[in-house]
Amino acid sequence: MDKKTQIINAALKVFAIQGLEKGKIADIAKVAGIGKGTVYEYFKSKNEIFTAIEQLFVTNTISQIESLMSSNKSPTEKMGEIVRANVNMHEVMGDTILIISEMWAQHSRGQWHGHKKSIFAEMYKNYHKAVIDILAEGIISGEFRQMNKNGVAALLLAFIDGMIWQSLIFKDNKKYNQRINDAIEAFMRGIKK
């Protein structure tokens, strides 16, 4: 692993525990097993590290969406995969999901008040388009019923975000997983022909 990636991974660990505001460059260096000066060779500030983490997360997410969309999977399989991958993100990311949630909140604040255009907005646009495309594929193939694709895509993204927040609040995986299974089943029943 190169030093830049090592620093980003260490920053994720530090920020997940301490938060964006309290996490310090010295803590990141310690977790990365390098000197504080080495961190500054790659990043001029904590804000640059935040931006690198955000960019990495968004780039990886968009890449996963593109990969799924270019696969030969059926619309039903694609829809199931896009939902499951997102609502179970906490299982893959562990407590680093907390930092992504914090970044999401900061971007929302910046976008709302007009001081910063959110990189997450681009990710949401990609997700929204992918869901609409999957729904359209499913309608054409006869797997899904006719529907307002734009409205259903908006509802699905809100559902995914809501489930991610619930996973962070309720740490009972058994109850959470049952809720997820029930919700996905209800959603799929609603769009199936």
Cα 126 from chain centroid (whole Å): 12
Q: Is 39 within 8 Å of 47 (Cβ atoms)?
A: no
pLDDT over 90 at 101, yes or no: no
Report the pLDDT averaged over residues 47-70.
88
Domain 1-44 grouped into CATH 3.30.565.10 = no
- At residue 144, the 3 state secondary structure works out as strand
pTM reported for the whole predicted model: 0.83
Domain residue ranges of the chain, discontinuous segments joined by +: 1-44, 53-191
pLDDT over 80 at 4, yes or no: yes
The pLDDT confidence band at residue 47, using thresholds 50, 70 and 90, is confident
The pLDDT confidence band at residue 90, using thresholds 50, 70 and 90, is low
pLDDT over 90 at 184, yes or no: no
What is the fold of 53-191?
Answer: Tetracycline Repressor; domain 2 (1.10.357)
Report the pLDDT averaged over residues 58-73.
90
Q: Is 176 within 8 Å of 167 (Cβ atoms)?
A: yes
